[in-house]
Amino acid sequence: MTPRIAITLGDPLGIGPEVVVKALSDARVYSDCRPFVVGNAEWIKRSVARFAPSLSVRPIAVPPPAVSIPDTLDVLDMGGPDLSGLEYGTPDPRAAASALAALTQATRMALDGAIDGITTGPIHKGRMRQVGFAFPGHTEFFADAAGAKSFGMMMVGGGLKITLATIHVALRDVVHIKKQTVLDAICLTHRAMRQDFGVPDPKIAVAALNPHGGEGGLFGDEEGREVAPAVSAAKNLGIHATGPHPADTLFYHLKAGRFDAAVALYHDQALIPIKLLAFGDAVNVTLGLPFVRTSVDHGTAYDIAGRGVADAGSLKTALALAAQMARHRASGALPVSRKS
């Protein structure tokens, strides 16, 4: 099986177009998957001419052709707003509208089964909101479109797989974390490790919130009130979960292979170890969707857009991971039990 992966261009005025055409000019990418781009064809042609002149652009329809042509970048043209006159690094609502059109089309294809997964380029959330994007980010957009009741974000990189129990939440609110929130993250991680990564009985470590795991309530009682009960509930579902583990040592043990994945309780608890070990090469995975979705781990980087210095490494890794996950799903070798 060669998975069909749609790449959404992201904000055309950021570094998304540059990393996309650079990644797809690498012939090794095609050994993992059958990638194509969803976006404004004219802007993609402009990006090819500027950043990957060895490529040619081929318009395609849905479903994408089964076989790629060497040195050819396939594009499903979304048309949309006229982007002529715009420049890299200069945010504009028209570019955001183009990004939203690409996301919408790619989601339709994924839900219809016309493709095997989506890999997304970076968007600018502020500009997206100006054109009616009523979500904190891609994760919530895809979950809403798919009707997913339980969903989450896993970061993959540097030999680590870490699910975030909360994502873009102020630290003052994280202390109010609830058992069900932690349990949902554990269950999502268990399901993904089996279904998407082929691990039959994944060992999942859950991080503590407070220093030293709260020291029996001395530094906080959230571990005893909410986190430990969530771990116990997961065990009752047949999930191999342990914790809460003090976060200052957990990620060392995760890297050493003592666990298959971890659940972090807040954004930076997960992102610091990931970006320390895999800055520029990590992948964002959305859990709980009926289709595979991966993303680069960086933003639009308007400050360097158009300069030809953007690194396509994260996109290449995201494509390879999407292909790997899609193959695992297609094999159906490790179905998820009803309990989880």
Cα separation of 185 and 187, whole Å?
5
255, 273, 288 — which closes off a domain?
Answer: 288
Cα separation of 88 and 65, whole Å?
31
Condensed to tens digits (0 to 9), the pLDDT of residues 6-40 reads: 999 999 999 999 999 999 999 999 998 999 999 99
| Torsion angles phi and psi, residue 338, rounded to 5 | -60, -35
pLDDT above 90 for 247 = yes
Cα separation of 90 and 205, whole Å?
43
Q: What is the pTM of this model?
A: 0.92
Q: Check if the beta carbon of residue 190 is closer than 8 Å to that of residue 202.
A: yes
Same domain for 208 and 78:
no
Condensed to tens digits (0 to 9), the pLDDT of residues 97-152 reads: 999 999 999 999 999 999 999 999 999 988 999 999 999 899 999 999 999 999 99
Same domain for 38 and 64:
yes
Cα separation of 146 and 102, whole Å?
16
Same domain for 113 and 233:
no
Amino acid at 11: D
Q: What is the CATH number of the domain that holds 282?
A: 3.40.718.10
Same domain for 72 and 200:
no
pLDDT above 50 for 339 = no
What pLDDT is recorded for position 66? 80
What pLDDT is recorded for position 192? 97
Same domain for 144 and 1:
yes
Condensed to tens digits (0 to 9), the pLDDT of residues 260-310 reads: 999 999 999 999 999 999 988 899 999 999 999 999 989 999 999 999 999
184-220 in b/e form (b: 16+ CB < 10 A) is bbbbbbbbbbbbbbbbeebbbbbbbbbeebbeeeeeb
pLDDT above 70 for 340 = no
pLDDT above 80 for 333 = no
Same domain for 143 and 154:
no
Q: Cα–Cα distances in Å, from 279 out to 90, 150, 198?
A: 25, 28, 25
Output the six-digit token pair for 94. 């028209």
Residue range of the domain that includes 109? 1-148+289-340
Same domain for 161 and 142:
no
What pLDDT is recorded for position 338? 36
Sequence-distant (≥ 6) Cβ neighbours of residue 104 within 8 angstroms: none
- Other beta carbons within 10 angstroms of residue 168's beta carbon come to 13
Domain count for the chain: 2
Condensed to tens digits (0 to 9), the pLDDT of residues 177-221 reads: 999 999 999 999 999 999 999 999 999 999 999 999 888 888 889
Condensed to tens digits (0 to 9), the pLDDT of residues 213-222 reads: 888 888 889 9
**What are the start-end ranges of the H helices in the chain?**
16-23, 41-51, 93-112, 125-130, 138-146, 171-174, 179-195, 222, 228-236, 247-255, 267-278, 313-331
| Torsion angles phi and psi, residue 127, rounded to 5 | -70, -35
How are the residues of the chain apportioned to helix, strand and coil, as percentages rounded to the nearest 5? 40, 20, 40
Q: Check if the beta carbon of residue 104 is closer than 8 Å to that of residue 146.
A: no
What pLDDT is recorded for position 79? 75
